[in-house]
Amino acid sequence: MDAYLKANQDHWNELVSIHAASRFYDLESFRAGRCSLDPIDVAEVGEVRGLSLLHLQCHFGQDTLSWARRGARVTGADFSERAVELARRLAEELGLEARFVCSELSALPQALEGAFDLVYTGGGVLGWLPDLERWAQVAAHFLRPGGTFYLREIHPFSWVFDDEAKAGPLRVRYPYFGTGEPQRWEEDGSYAGPNASLEHRVTYEWPHTLGEVVTALAQAGLRIEFLHEFPTASYRQFPWMEQGEDGCWRLPDTPALPFTFSVRAVKAGG
C-alpha cells in the first residue's frame, strides 16, 4: 500500500469509533431495526431476497447488514481493520449472517473468492480511489455472468463548489477534472463528526468525472442499464442546504443542480 492509501487507511481507522458514536449513523436505532439504506438504493436495486451481494468499501457494515435484513446473503469489504472488526461484532450482536473481509480494493481478488449476483457500492467512496479502471475491473471480476452492479454516489459536479460555511452562495473552488495526482487535505472532523479532533488529519482524494465512471464500467465489460441524476443530496453536503419532508437535502432559492447520481450495469452472459 502506497503512502497515500496508508494515510487514508489510518484516517478511516480513527474515524470508526467517532462514527459509531455519532448521530449521523445512529447505531441505537439501527440496532432496533432501522434500515440505513438510501431510499434511492432500495428503489433502484429492487428485490434482493436470496441473492448473493458484495458491498465494496462498506465502512463498518450498516448498509451491508441492512441488505442482509432484506434477505440478501451479504459480504462486505473495506480496507479499515477497525471498521471490519466493528462490522463483524454488529453482525454477531444482531444475529445476522454476514461475512466481512479486510482488504484494499485493488487487492480484493487475492483476498476473496467467489462470484456474486449483485455488487453494490454506496455513496462517498469513489474519491478515495486512485484508479477507477481497476475499481471497475474488480467489480466485474466478482460478478457472475448476468449479475448486476449498482452504484449510487455523490455527483462529481457538486464537488467543484466551496463547502465552507463562510462561503455562502455557491462558488467554484475546486477542479472538476483530475490530473492523476491526489488532492491533499489536512483537517479535523468528518461528515459524521464535524467537531472531532483527529490524530490522522491528512487525507488524499482523487476527483473522477461522471464520464470516467461510466467509461470505466463499460470498458470492464459491463453493459450500462441506466445513469440517473438527482437534484438532491442524501446528507447536508453544504451548510446552507435545507432538508425536505422526504428527507432529501436541497439548496434553497437555487436552480436545480445535480448532487447525486446512480448507475446500474449488467455483466454479459447468464
pTM: 0.95
**What pLDDT is stored for residue 155 in this prediction?**
97
> For position 168, what pLDDT does the model report?
66
* pLDDT value at residue 254: 83
- pLDDT at position 255 is 85
pLDDT of the residue at 165: 66
CB 249 within 8 Å of CB 241: yes
Q: What is the pLDDT of residue 1?
A: 56
The confidence score (pLDDT) of residue 253 equals: 83
SS (H, E, C) the chain: CCHHHHHHHHHHHHHHHHHHCCCCCCHHHHHCCCCCCCHHHHHHHCCCCCCEEEEECCCCCHHHHHHHHCCCEEEEEECCHHHHHHHHHHHHHHCCCEEEEECCHHHHHHHCCCCEEEEEECCCCHHHCCCHHHHHHHHHHCEEEEEEEEEEEECHHHHHECCCHHHCCCCECCCCCCCCCCEEEECCCCCCCCCCCCCCCEEEECCCCHHHHHHHHHHCCEEEEEEEEECCECCCCCCCCEECCCCCEECCCCCCCCCEEEEEEEECCC
Judge whether 208 and 179 are in contact, CB under 8 Å.
Answer: no
pLDDT of residue 270: 67
Q: Which residues contact residue 144 at a Cβ distance below 8 angstroms, ignoring those fewer than 6 apart? A: 115, 116, 117, 267, 270
Question: So what's the pLDDT on residue 107?
Answer: 97
Instruction: Return the pLDDT at 148.
Output: 98
Question: What is the structure's pLDDT at 75?
Answer: 98
The residue ranges of the chain whose pLDDT is under 70 are 1, 165-168, 270
CATH number listed for the domain at residues 3-267: 3.40.50.150
What percentage of the chain has pLDDT greater than the value 70? 98
Q: What is the pLDDT of residue 219?
A: 98
- For the chain, domain boundaries: 3-267
